[in-house]
Amino acid sequence: MPINLYIFLALALFSIGVIGVLTRRNAIIIFMCIELMLNAVNLLLVAFSKMHLADSMAAGAAPTLTNGVDAQLFVFFIMVVAAAEVTVGLAIIVMMYRNIHSVDVNFLNRLKN
Amino acid sequence: MNNIIDYVWLVPLFPLVGFLLNGLLRNYLSKSLSGIIGSGVILASFVVSILLFMQVKGGSTGVVTLFNFIEFGKTSIPFAFQVDQLSSLFLLIITGIGFLIHLYSTAYMHEETAPHFARYFAYLNLFVFSMLLLVLGSNYVIMFIGWEGVGLCSYLLIGYWFKNIEYTGAAKKAFVMNRIGDAGFLLAVFYLLSKLGTVGYADVFSKVDQLSGQDLTIITLLLFVGATGKSAQIPLYTWLPDAMAGPTPVSALIHAATMVTAGIYMIARSNILYTLAPVTQTVVAVIGIATALLAASIALKQNDIKKVLAYSTVSQLGYMFLALGVGAYTGAVFHVMTHAFFKALLFLGAGSVIHAMHHEQDIRNMGGLKKYLPTTHITFLIACFAIAGIIPFSGFFSKDEILAAAFANNPVYYVLGAIGALMTAFYMFRLYSMTFQGSFRGTHEQEHHLHESPAAMTIPLVILAIFSFAGGLVGIPEVLMHGGHQLNEFLAPVFAESTRRMTPHTIDHTLELILMFGLMAVILVIIIFAWKKFSSYQKTDAEETGLGKVLQNKWYVDELYEAVITKPVNAFGKGLEKLDRFGIDWVVNGVGRSVQYASRQFRLLQSGQVGSYILLMVLGMILLFVLQVFLKK
Amino acid sequence: MNITEILFWLLTAVALGGALLVVTSKNPVYSVLALIATFFALSGHYILLNAQFLAVVNLIVYAGAIMVLFLFVIMLMNLNTETEPQKNKWLKLAGTIAGGCFLLVLVAALRDADSKSTMALVGSGDTGLIQNLGKALFNEYVIPFEISSVLFLSAMVGAVVLGKK
């Protein structure tokens, strides 16, 4: 498949995530949009990994097993970190809900002072 | 030590060390210790100066370069000391009389607390150091360092009792007046640099023929402006009488050994330039004689013992400038020397009187002091004879030489100078008689406490009296004794070039003798008259009238300056202050206020809403990408 | 149009539709479900790119664990359409336009990006197989792998501490 299609798909997903962050007030939805953006990046990384493989094959070199492995391992680590992030983030949101009985980020304007 | 000249840097080094020790350790030194340091370093300088003088007298002179002071382009200004007849003579005067004054000060200033005592000696040492630098420098820049140094030190010393607001005012006046002169000096140095590209004496004097007459006139006039500031000539003389605010030994130092002689020294040093600039010479002579007469006339009616002496200094300096103006450079230097002796003696004597009278300075409240202060009385009398110009006291020879030269140049100078000499004799003996003769007019308490000063004060008086008496014998005029003018021979190399280029004015020997002794006869008459008149002086409450009042008020020169210069300048300053406050301040504050206003508006962006922050962040990212995409291509 | 392309466009449509639904739906529960659908579509893409390990991990970690966590939290808080906070429509418009511009600019920026090859290898290549990834992971990337376990531990501790307050 043309790499451009993957790029545009990833960009579209990412931008939808951005739009979600900008238009929603619910902290959980915003959080989900961030996950969406992370996944857009993951998709792009995997696509580039395969593009790299295609590159080395087109160059005539015998495809070694390691071509493009790095990118996919990056995706793996991103998922690891995302999982950790989600646990802590959700814990914080639960805390916030306990304190102010809302998940509306507009209540969190303490940054002002 | 083969050649002492190589060690000339020791001379200014000693006072500098003394200044540093006394200045930095003033809180830890006892009074006697700082007195010993202060006087000792000057004595050390004096010893080296004597050795130097001997060497120079033996015929060897030289320039000692210590290091390269300033270097730019093709010009380099070395930090170098010049040892020749003129500077070695001045070294002797400065360090010799300076030492006596230091010695005297140890007793005179004993009432001060130890830190202030040490501060006093630190200033005094720095003063001597600056003066030595001025005299020793081998170019105008080094001279200027010393020139500024003595200006600074005079400020510090005149304002020594800085808690008195009037004294600090006098100090400021001295400083400002000096600065006006210094500006002239500085301009002259720059002019020299631009025209000749050098400021070293030897270079300048050898290239003097490259300068056009106009250049020479401008340079010499500018230098003379500097000299009028330092040496208290019209129109910048008013600081010197006010400089009496400082302690009396300081007055002696300023008036006798240092500071005021700087201008004379500078012109004597630059004698070739002046010889080739006849216009300037006339200006110098006219200003000199005018100052001499003006100051002498003011001195006639002053009642403050130190004020009289101050105006007499101004007047005597006028004579020296007259001498310089008529080309009698040796005469000027000679008079500097003799004047240094008797004026130092007069001031120290006056200090002794003031000391005895417990800081009473008004001669109307004195009288009859010869009983109580025998040593001071005798030495003061000698000084009076010397300044009045009675043979064989030192002042006679130097003054006579100046007047003879003046007569040879232009008889009008002579007549005016003679009138000045008569006035000098009158006011000096008025001062003497009112102080020492007659009956005591002060309070009983003062009379009870009258006492002769301690030895540390009287010894310098006696030494100075000896020199005031005999100091003139190095310059006995040709008419009285063939080959008697040793000073002339000694200084001849310095002024050789000028002498060669000058059209010689000669004066008939018989005429000179007539003038000499005729004038002295009249002076004697005046002295007897003044002595008689003021010995029986009684205090009156009558106001002075007419000319007397004008003289008492110093010709209203201070008031004139106040009205013509100070007030307009103040008004101008007030105007500028308004401009500053309402113009510049408004702009500056406006900038500040608009920034404040803008930031108050921008602060609203900080809503604390996470959403708005993210929105702005995204907008920023968009902007970055836009820039990258559309501007990079 | 071969089967790969059909699958590609189908998955793309599901992913984009799901993503839009995440953003637009008023009920948070629907958002979560839509996001799970999106993740499934992305996993499909991974399989299409022969990155089987990541596809599986994506399903297990994201669609399985993380999204269930979200779902639990939302249900715990009893969030629904009525309690959903809404921004005013101008802000929504502004956000949408900003996001749209962002997309436009990114597309414009990356459209002309030159790369040696313009194709991504689809359906073949052994890179994404678990054997190869495992070898690389436990040889070159063993230290990051171990460190990530520490990260998990600290995240766990953090979540517990925050939750207990």
Map out the domains of chain B as residue ranges: 251-540, 561-631
Rounded average pLDDT over B466-495: 80
pLDDT recorded at residue B126: 92
pLDDT recorded at residue B513: 82
Q: Please give the CATH number for the structural domain made up of A3-112.
A: 1.10.287.3510
Q: For A91-113, what is each residue's pLDDT tens digit?
A: 888 888 888 888 887 777 665 55
A95·C155 Cβ contact <8 A? no
Shortest CA distance from B605: residue in chain A? A112
Candidates A36, A48, A104: best to mutate against C (most CBs of C within 10 A) is A36
Q: Give the pLDDT band of residue B1 (cuts 50, 70, 90).
A: very low
Rounded average pLDDT over B609-629: 82
Chain B closest CA to A112's CA: distance in Å?
A: 4
pLDDT at A42 over 90: yes
Of B104, B139, B8, whose CA–CA distance to B64 is shortest?
Answer: B8
Q: What percent of chain B has pLDDT over 90?
A: 9
Can you spell out the DSSP letters for chain C?
--HHHHHHHHHHHHHHHHHHHHHH-SSHHHHHHHHHHHHHHHHHHHHHTT-HHHHHHIIIIIIIIIHHHHHHHHHHHT--TTT-----HHHHHHHHHHHHHHHHHHHHHHHT---S--B---S--STTSHHHHHHHHHHTTHHHHHHHHHHHHHHHHHHHHHHH-
- C96-114 core/surface letters (b: 16 or more CB in 10 A; e: else): bebbebbbebbeebeeeee
Query: ipTM score of the complex?
Result: 0.88
Q: Which residues pair with B362 in a beta bridge?
A: B304
pLDDT recorded at residue B257: 67
Shortest CA distance from A88: residue in chain C? C159
Q: For residue C66, what are its two tokens?
A: 């993380």
- Is there a contact between B304 and B245 (Cβ–Cβ < 8 Å)? no
Residues of C in contact with A69 (CB under 8 A): 127, 132-133, 136
pTM of the model: 0.67
* Three-state helix/strand/coil letters over C147-165: HHHHHHHHHHHHHHHHHHC
pLDDT at A63 over 60: no
Secondary structure of residue B308 in the 3-state scheme: helix
B606·A22 Cβ contact <8 A? no
pLDDT recorded at residue C17: 93
Q: For B177-190, what is each residue's pLDDT tens digit?
A: 888 889 999 999 99
Q: Which residues of chain C have pLDDT under 70?
A: 112-118
C91·A23 Cβ contact <8 A? yes
Rounded average pLDDT over B562-581: 86
Of B291, B489, B323, B284, whose CA–CA distance to B401 is shortest?
Answer: B323
pLDDT recorded at residue A112: 57
pLDDT at B595 over 90: yes
Distance, CA of B453 to chain centre: 27
The whole-angstrom separation of Cα B558 and Cα B290 is: 17
Q: Give the pLDDT band of residue A62 (cuts 50, 70, 90).
A: low
Of B32, B617, B102, whose CA–CA distance to C95 is shortest?
Answer: B617
- Is there a contact between A12 and C38 (Cβ–Cβ < 8 Å)? no
**DSSP structural state of residue B503:** P
The whole-angstrom separation of Cα C155 and Cα B371 is: 107
Chain C closest CA to B607's CA: distance in Å?
A: 14
CB-CB: which of C94, C95, C101 is closest to B622? C101
Q: How far apart are the first and last CA of chain A?
A: 52
Q: Name every residue whose Cβ is closer than 8 Å to that of residue C6 and which is 6 or more positions away in sequence.
A: none
A18·B618 Cβ contact <8 A? yes
Chain C closest CA to A113's CA: distance in Å?
A: 23
Bridge pairing between strands B62-72 and B75-83: antiparallel
| CATH class of residue range C1-86 | mainly alpha
Q: For B273-324, what is each residue's pLDDT tens digit?
A: 888 888 888 999 999 999 999 888 888 888 888 888 888 888 999 989 999 8
- Is there a contact between B623 and A30 (Cβ–Cβ < 8 Å)? no
The tally of CA atoms less than 13 A away on the side-chain side of residue B73 is: 5
The whole-angstrom separation of Cα B242 and Cα B588 is: 41
Of B623, B79, B186, B611, whose CA–CA distance to A19 is shortest?
Answer: B611
Rounded average pLDDT over B235-246: 83
Phi and psi dihedrals of C119, rounded to 5? -110, 145
CB-CB: which of A22, A106, A112 is closest to B618? A22
Shortest CA distance from B613: residue in chain C? C95
Map out the domains of chain A as residue ranges: 3-112
Interface A-B: count of C-beta contacts within 8 A: 26
User: Nearest 5°: CA angle at B271, between B472 and B146?
Assistant: 85
Q: Which residues pair with A26 in a beta bridge?
A: A104
Q: What percent of chain A has pLDDT over 70?
A: 87
Mean pLDDT score of chain B: 85
Q: For B180-222, what is each residue's pLDDT tens digit?
A: 889 999 999 998 888 888 888 888 888 888 888 888 899 899 9
Map out the domains of chain C as residue ranges: 1-86, 129-165
The whole-angstrom separation of Cα B187 and Cα B193 is: 10
Categorise residue B391: left if φ over 0, alpha if ψ from -120 to 50, beta otherwise. Answer: beta
pLDDT recorded at residue A64: 60
pLDDT recorded at residue A113: 52
Residue type, B251: S
In terms of pLDDT, which residue wins out, B551 or A91?
A91
Q: For A13-38, what is each residue's pLDDT tens digit?
A: 999 999 998 888 888 898 899 999 99
Give me the helices (H) in B270-304, please: 271-275, 278-299
Rounded average pLDDT over A62-89: 83
pLDDT recorded at residue B541: 67
Shortest CA distance from B618: residue in chain A? A18
Out of B124-138, B400-414, C139-153, least confident range = B400-414
Q: Give the pLDDT band of residue B352 (cuts 50, 70, 90).
A: confident
